[in-house]
Amino acid sequence: MRSTPLSRAALAGAASLLLAAGLFAGCGSDDSSSTSASSTPATTATVSLADAAQAYMPIDAEIRAIGGDIATTVNDAPNQTDDALAEQFGGLTDRTEAAVGRLEALEVPADLSTALDNLREALQTGADDLRDIAAAARAHDAQAAREATQRLISDSAGIREGRAEVNRALRSAGS
Distance CA 85, CA 73 (A): 8
pLDDT score recorded for residue 112: 92
Exposed/middle/buried for 115, CB within 10 Å: 0-12, 13-18, 19+? buried
- Yes or no: domain 5-22+47-174 corresponds to CATH 1.10.3210: no
pLDDT score recorded for residue 124: 98
pLDDT in tens, 149-169: 999 999 999 999 999 999 998
Q: What is the DSSP string of 2-51?
A: -S-HHIIIIITTHHHHHHHHTTTTTTSTT----B--SSPPEE-TT--HHH
Strand partners, 35: 119
- What are the backbone dihedrals phi and psi of residue 110, each rounded to the nearest 5 degrees, phi first? -55, -35
Distance CA 127, CA 151 (A): 11
Residue 45 has pLDDT above 80, yes or no: no
pLDDT higher at 41 or 127: 127
pLDDT in tens, 32-42: 333 333 445 55
Distance CA 62, CA 47 (A): 22
Cβ-proximal residues to 51 (8 Å cutoff; 6+ apart), any chain: 107
pLDDT score recorded for residue 14: 57
pLDDT in tens, 89-119: 999 999 999 999 999 999 999 989 999 999 9
Provide the mean pLDDT of the chain.
82
Average pLDDT of the segment spanning 66-72: 94
DSSP code at position 140? T
Residue 120 has pLDDT above 60, yes or no: yes
Residue 47 has pLDDT above 90, yes or no: no
pLDDT higher at 136 or 3: 136
CB 159 within 8 A of CB 122: yes
Residue at 85: amino acid letter = L
Domain boundaries, given as residue ranges, for the chain: 5-22+47-174
Residue 121 has pLDDT above 60, yes or no: yes
